[in-house]
Structure 1
Amino acid sequence: MNRSYFKSKLFLRYIFSYLLILVVPLIIVTAFIYRNATRSLQSEIELSHINQLNQAKTIIDGRIKELNDMASRISYDERLTPYRVHDPYFSREAISALNNYKATSSIIGELFLYYYNDDRIYSSRGMSNLEVFASNYSFHNWTKNTLFHDLNKVKFPAMRPADLVNRTPSLQQSILAYIVPITPNNPNPHGTIMYFIPESELNRMIDSVLGSYHGLTYIFDNNGQILTSNGNERSLSTQEVKSLFILEPGIHNEVLNGKSHSIISVKSSENGWSYVTLMPSAQIFSNVLQVRSFIIMLLLISVAVGGAIALMLARMQYVPISELVKFANSTSRSKRPFGNELEGIRILLQEHSVRADLQEPYARNHVLMMLLKYGNTQGVSSDLLGSFDFTFESSHYFVVIIECDEFSNKQDESQNRQAIFHLFTQVSFPELSARAYSVELPQPNQLALIIGYDSDGKLQNFDHIRHIVEATRNNLLEMFDIHPVIGVGTCYSSISLLNQSYIEACSALETNISSHESITFFEKLFSTSEQDFWVPNHVLLKLSQSLKQGSFEVAERTISVAISELPTSLLSSQLLRFIVYDILNTMLKTASELGIHNLMHEVPPKITYNSLEELKQAFVNLASRICSQVEHDQKNEEHTLMDQIVLYIDSHYREHTLSLETISQEYSISPSHLSRSFKEKVGINFIQYIWQKRMNEVMHKLITTNDSLKDIIVQVGYLDTPNFIRKFKKETGYTPGQYRSLHIPEEKTGTLSDL
């Protein structure tokens, strides 16, 4: 504050006026602030804790779901059939398979496979008789007879509470036993998978999320049994513990064991488990004491220096704005000076908004790709879908794939492709009650459209679809003068079947390319006269395409449809065998085209089956092998490609023209796919990686050369010198000149400047 202000009588009158006005209500206002601050702080701590507990619940639910999925895979694993695990020759392979399954999850202490009424049990350590639960795994509260009964009678997955197990005479371990009947969801299971989960593993996962929390944590099953508990307070009575289970999800304040506690309760929708934590109120109010001390000190200072209250209030109002202005100056990319403090803050918010907008297209495309691949938006929050303005409320959905051979690696045509992509980012056809979302596919010359529409009854479904596709094609012809090749999938009434439509669109596009048609509808393929008892060619084409895409769900459904629609009552066994060979040949031919040549030895020379269900299961298992191999090969190819791209960036990061678009053109993949895959491979995004490479190179040259800073920055491909200096200081705390002075002797630095 300018001292000349105190020479003004008017200013002094204002000070005395503020003193009279503020001193009286100051105590009331201070008490009110203190009360609200304590409540707000307590609420923030409790809300933060409930979010952490929900995160812990989500992690544990995910791990339990992994165990259920593992049990499902084991039940279908040919190496672990009753015949193979009992066979002396194959038993080693079965034990090795169990050991591999166990190794996929860090929370599994041991894994057991048991078939009903067998006197032996199998684990990753080998085959044992049931006496192993009286010698090596002796539970305190779970007798061998009860354990044997549970292994043979449990119909649904069940978790046993943590129990002490005698591993050796001198070693005890607290273990939870999770029992899953196999085959899962089958009313008549034939065996059991039993997981031993060390209680310490669950506690470790909870501790890793809750962090510095000091209290007691319980996990109850849906019957109120304590599965596990963790914490430093274990003096609650049995009745008090039971009262925790019946609490509604949310935040509660209760007195337990004579102490006030803040209780957080959440419930899992996956398995009905309840997660409850007890936080002593004293832990919360220990933080409040700091606030109370500060407010009391502020009150005393304010009363003692009453004449300066007005000055202090003005200063207190200005301090937050001043801090924001400092932050804006340190992070803003703008070179022009700020007109005032609020202008600087506005520019900062605009720049952060621009950065978020740059990442939005890649996140949006990733969500839609998951929809095409899996046929649902499971795991994607409604808030995220809303932020992208996705609305999936139409009555019908189908997928269109557009391929334009005009696209190449030339810069202008790449820009043309991006213009088309942005055109269909979200386009509507009001006259057809349709809306489309574009999805950038890994292939640079392909684009997918997810189209939803509501039927008004005036047009047949196929005519409605045809009009939408033709309107899409006309837009491309009118605006870009290109001639696309289009494949159209079947229309479904549920968005969960979009992966089916996607595979069908791929099949139609593949047929389209070979037939040189502009538009091909999958449901109109092979509509020529075919014998009703043969598997239609379009079904075989869809099966082949699903295997090529590695989409097991679609392949399984296609096989089921093909088998179930066979008119077995009208076919001789010989003709039925020929039809079966038709399906098998399609699968083997596709596998051969994909480079998978090791399946022939698994196919018997003569196909025999006792029922169509058994035949279908054999084909499904074969499809699973092919799809798994395709996914494995795709991941390997992607990892290899990302390794090449990383090497390319390491060699070319000094070029200022290096960008996501130039690399996507160099390696013929879409920018969206490149951005997502690069971050999965390296751990940071593309821009951060290049910045770090350039930053490291600048730091090296500052120490090892006498080149000017401007020359060094240009040498590493960065053209905006002032902006680089600001970012350099933000990361290191020093300007480049200061950094150079700190790391080399002064006599060698010469007369160097930051510029």
Structure 2
Amino acid sequence: MNRNYFKSKLFMKYIWSYLFILLIPLILMTVFIYQNAVTNLRSEIEQSRLGQLTQTKVIIDGRMKELGEIASRISYDKRLTPFRVHDSYYSGEAIEALDQYKATSSIIGELFLYFHKDEKIYSAKGLSDFDVFASSFNFSNWSQEAVVQDLNDVKFPTMRPADTVIRNANMKESMLAYLVPITPYSPNPHGTIMYLIKESELTSLIDSVLGNYQGLTYILDNKGQILVDNRQGEALTNTEAKSLFGLSSGIHDKILNGKPHSIVSVTSENNGWTYVTVMPSSQFFSSVVHVRSFIVLLFIIVVLVGAAIALVLARMQYQPISTLVEFANSKSKPKLEIDKSAGSGNELDRIRTALQEYSSRIDLQEPYARNHFLSMLLKYGNAQSLAPELQEAFDIHFDRGSHFVMVIGWSEMEDERQERQELIELLAQIEFPELAAHAYGVELPQLDQIALIISFSHSQTEQPFTAVRHIVEAVRCIMLETFDVTPTIAVGTCYASPNQLNQSFIEACSAFELRAANGHGTVTYFENLLHTPDHTFWIPNNTLLKLSQSLKLGSYDVAAQIISPSIRSLQTSELSALLKRCICFDVLNTMLKTASELGIPHLTPDMAPNMIYSHSLDELENGLLQLASRICKQVERINKKEEQSQIDKIVSYIDDRYTDHTISLESIAFEFAISPSHVSRSFKEKMGLNFIQYIWQKRMDEVMRHLKTSNAPLKEIIVQVGYLDTPNFIRKFKKETGFTPGQYRKLYGENSQTLPASELDDDE
């Protein structure tokens, strides 16, 4: 057995749970204990119940105080003023704010905000009329009219007794309604916060008081009404239950239902609530075992056997959780490892936290990962070799019979940043059911361009090119109608296999380069580019244009698929050797011209002479392929170098402006005229962490430096580094360092001894 297991509270909880189950026979055997031991045992149990009940009272009082504080914060929250809540523009922020407040307390089942004389009630799920509210939450003993009246009339925090609530017409739950007027303690409140609390949230806190005994637990308000009634065993009449109100705090004996009962009562000083447990006295052991040694021996045997079995079962139960914890720890940041070795906290909480972190990271990075996935498809093709699980994760399917790529450009957006983002979101995944087609948008490095991968099916009677025209026109209409933008569209050739999408993309890029000649807002089809007239033996212009574009994009595979068939076709032709060589030189000239445009002139004297004096078409083909390979490799190096230089500039830009709270991936992308997706991918590859993590780390380091060297208030420091949500920052700071900012300043601050106590408070 790994001794570290015993440092885990969860593992020990499993052991004790199994021990509790296995030691029930031991409890049954205590009926043989001596009569005087019964009295002592009863006294100990009652004192324990009294202590537990007092602890339960403290916990529930704390939860009620917490709900009052939440109501107070809501009343002063600018997002939840009557004006903002009613304003359709700000209502979304109000709903989000209510959802955040709801999440701050685990006992809140539902949270509602109501302003006096209003016809609507607001919750974390939105606003609704009272008719809608009543249909969603139908109280058995609280009519809709009474709800409205209580919400308008309540002057003090009021808890209604547990009531059966029919939710959404079919689900029943027992819930309490806690009404808190806002502003709290104001003689003229303007509204009411209503919390709906599941009865089980309170009963679960006091279930442990009874332990394995049969009995009842009640919570009564300051007027004697029964708020919570939790039963294990026989029930009391309503009159008998209310008779428990007014008992002094302590232990009492009383006859109920004609039977003696042991009663423990505790009264809250904060709200006057009474917490009561009632247990039949007959449960206490009534017989005595005369052979003490036998009882002791039997007790030891049962304990040892039970402990051994509990240990084995607990280890079997804990083993998979331990493995998950180790995995979560291995994937967490080093700072998150504080105190984990000591077993502090609950392993399930740590696993949940790790899953939440991974989920948030995935949600943040999924659009960029999806775009990178599709970019690789456009660059290399071969869609069938891509991981099926990734295609499934990104909801990408190439299950149609035809595929092509179009490149879309625009230039006249007024608010380019916002409208571009909306355009990207619109075209990210779009369906054309009437055309049996779907499309996936891919952000290109250029801000004013996007590629669209189209997968469609067409009838046997319809030509593929006709279907392509219809799809292109549908995309064009969407952009015109939605954004009032006249796009420039270039369309690649349609292929039967998605493995050739890289070729279609290069063809679309080739056609897009001709947009200036065709005019703005035109649609250019690669298939319609002019062939050389009258000279059918010459290589078509569109093929040479595609070859040039493949070299510019560094796509050797596509270039090779153009060069080899073109040269080999000459071997079977009846043209003269001189004309064949001239045609080959046409390909060579295209490649050399492209290399010159790319700024790679040194390839001309290096390789061209060898190809000019080559003796066969095979030698010329090999030479052209080698030249294409060298050009593509050089393009890759140039692009990588330019990308590195660009990222260096971006990192420098961030280092100078990370304290600006408006800085974002989108703002940097538009500053450097690169798409956000391209910035995100390149930044992660160079820095090893994503943009958000880098900004956070820079701000964290700056806050730590201020805490060590200055006496400035924490809120002022946080605002200075560009972070506006102080409470959230404090939570994340403690999560990463293990200390609150105040504790960190105490430990490491140079001037901590001279700071006033308020500056070192953990609740800064």
TM-score band by shorter chain is 0.5 to 0.7
Work out whether 1:533 is the aligned partner of 2:540: no
Match of 2:567 in 1: 563
Work out whether 1:705 is the aligned partner of 2:710: yes
Match of 2:504 in 1: 501
Match of 1:650 in 2: 655
Match of 2:455 among 448, 452, 457: 452
Q: 1:421 to 1:13 in 2, by over 3 A?
A: farther
Structure 1 residue 609, shift from structure 2 partner: 3.1
Alignment of 1:126-525 (within 5 A): 353-377=359-383, 380-407=386-413, 412-516=415-519, 518-525=522-529
Count of equivalent residues: 461
Decide whether the 8 Å contact of 2:384 with 2:499 is kept in 1: no
Deviations 1:625-667 (A, max 9, x none): 1000000000000000000001000100111111101100100
Q: 1:604 to 1:613 in 2, by over 3 A?
A: same
Decide whether the 8 Å contact of 1:395 with 1:493 is kept in 2: yes
Matched AA of 1:432:
L
Q: 1:24 to 1:491 in 2, by over 3 A?
A: farther
Match of 1:594 in 2: 598
Structure 1 residue 414, shift from structure 2 partner: 1.4
Q: 1:24 to 1:422 in 2, by over 3 A?
A: farther
Structure 1 residue 478, shift from structure 2 partner: 1.1
Structure 1 residue 604, shift from structure 2 partner: 0.8
Match of 1:83 in 2: none
Structure 1 residue 530, shift from structure 2 partner: 4.0
Decide whether the 8 Å contact of 2:443 with 2:677 is kept in 1: yes
Deviations 1:697-718 (A, max 9, x none): 1111112222111111111111
Q: 1:562 to 1:363 in 2, by over 3 A?
A: same
Q: Secondary structure of 2:503's match?
A: helix
Deviations 1:607-639 (A, max 9, x none): 133332221111000000100000000000000
Aligned counterparts of 1:44 and 1:380: Cα–Cα separation in 2: 34
Aligned counterparts of 1:548 and 1:33: Cα–Cα separation in 2: 68
Aligned counterparts of 2:504 and 2:511: Cα–Cα separation in 1: 10
Aligned counterparts of 1:384 and 1:372: Cα–Cα separation in 2: 16
Q: 1:25 to 1:416 in 2, by over 3 A?
A: farther
Q: 1:15 to 1:523 in 2, by over 3 A?
A: farther
Q: 1:320 to 1:741 in 2, by over 3 A?
A: closer
Structure 1 residue 533, shift from structure 2 partner: 0.9
Aligned counterparts of 1:13 and 1:564: Cα–Cα separation in 2: 102
Deviations 1:7-36 (A, max 9, x none): 56454779879xxxxx99997998599479
Matched AA of 2:387:
S
Structure 1 residue 724, shift from structure 2 partner: 0.9
Q: 1:697 to 1:614 in 2, by over 3 A?
A: same
Work out whether 1:549 is the aligned partner of 2:569: no
Greater shift, 31-40 or 475-484, is seen at 31-40
Q: 1:414 to 1:327 in 2, by over 3 A?
A: same
Aligned counterparts of 1:14 and 1:655: Cα–Cα separation in 2: 71
Match of 1:269 in 2: none
Decide whether the 8 Å contact of 1:664 with 1:671 is kept in 2: yes
Matched AA of 1:640:
S
Q: 1:736 to 1:558 in 2, by over 3 A?
A: same
Matched AA of 1:370:
M
Q: Secondary structure of 2:454's match?
A: strand
Q: 1:380 to 1:430 in 2, by over 3 A?
A: same
Alignment of 1:648-727 (within 5 A): 648-727=653-732
Q: 1:385 to 1:605 in 2, by over 3 A?
A: closer
Q: Secondary structure of 1:435's match?
A: strand
Deviations 1:237-283 (A, max 9, x none): xxxxxxxxxxxxxxxxxxxxxxxxxxxxxxxxxxxxxxxxxxxxxxx
Q: 1:533 to 1:352 in 2, by over 3 A?
A: closer
Structure 1 residue 3, shift from structure 2 partner: 3.5
Matched AA of 1:580:
C
Matched AA of 2:522:
S
Could you tell me which runs of 5 or more consecutive residues in structure 1 were left unpaired when the two chains were aligned: 18-22, 53-318, 332-347
- Structure with bigger RCO (C-alpha 8 Å, 6+ apart): 2
Q: 1:438 to 1:36 in 2, by over 3 A?
A: same
Q: 1:14 to 1:607 in 2, by over 3 A?
A: farther
Match of 2:738 in 1: 733
What is the percentage of aligned positions where both structures have the same residue? 51
Aligned counterparts of 1:545 and 1:730: Cα–Cα separation in 2: 51
Aligned counterparts of 2:401 and 2:507: Cα–Cα separation in 1: 19
Decide whether the 8 Å contact of 2:711 with 2:751 is kept in 1: no
Matched AA of 1:418:
Q
Q: Secondary structure of 1:436's match?
A: strand
Decide whether the 8 Å contact of 2:321 with 2:347 is kept in 1: no
Q: 1:574 to 1:719 in 2, by over 3 A?
A: same
Aligned counterparts of 1:33 and 1:457: Cα–Cα separation in 2: 70
Match of 2:110 in 1: none
Q: 1:12 to 1:697 in 2, by over 3 A?
A: farther
Aligned counterparts of 2:344 and 2:667: Cα–Cα separation in 1: 43
Q: 1:595 to 1:38 in 2, by over 3 A?
A: same
Matched AA of 1:447:
I
Q: Secondary structure of 1:493's match?
A: coil
Q: 1:37 to 1:610 in 2, by over 3 A?
A: farther
Match of 1:749 in 2: 755
Structure 1 residue 448, shift from structure 2 partner: 0.5
Matched AA of 2:544:
L
Match of 1:632 among 609, 630, 637: 637
Work out whether 1:585 is the aligned partner of 2:589: yes
Q: Secondary structure of 2:731's match?
A: helix
Match of 2:255 in 1: none
Q: 1:13 to 1:677 in 2, by over 3 A?
A: farther
Structure 1 residue 596, shift from structure 2 partner: 0.4
Decide whether the 8 Å contact of 1:398 with 1:452 is kept in 2: yes
Q: 1:384 to 1:456 in 2, by over 3 A?
A: same
Q: 1:530 to 1:725 in 2, by over 3 A?
A: farther
Q: Secondary structure of 2:570's match?
A: coil
Decide whether the 8 Å contact of 2:710 with 2:751 is kept in 1: no
Aligned counterparts of 2:322 and 2:728: Cα–Cα separation in 1: 37
Normalization by structure 1: what TM-score?
A: 0.56
Q: Secondary structure of 2:609's match?
A: coil
Structure 1 residue 606, shift from structure 2 partner: 7.1
Q: Secondary structure of 1:570's match?
A: coil
Matched AA of 1:533:
F
Decide whether the 8 Å contact of 1:362 with 1:675 is kept in 2: yes
Matched AA of 2:447:
P
Matched AA of 2:510:
S
Q: 1:14 to 1:628 in 2, by over 3 A?
A: farther
Aligned counterparts of 1:545 and 1:525: Cα–Cα separation in 2: 14
Aligned counterparts of 1:399 and 1:581: Cα–Cα separation in 2: 30
Matched AA of 2:502:
N
Match of 1:67 in 2: none
> Bigger radius of gyration, 1 or 2?
2
Structure 1 residue 350, shift from structure 2 partner: 7.6
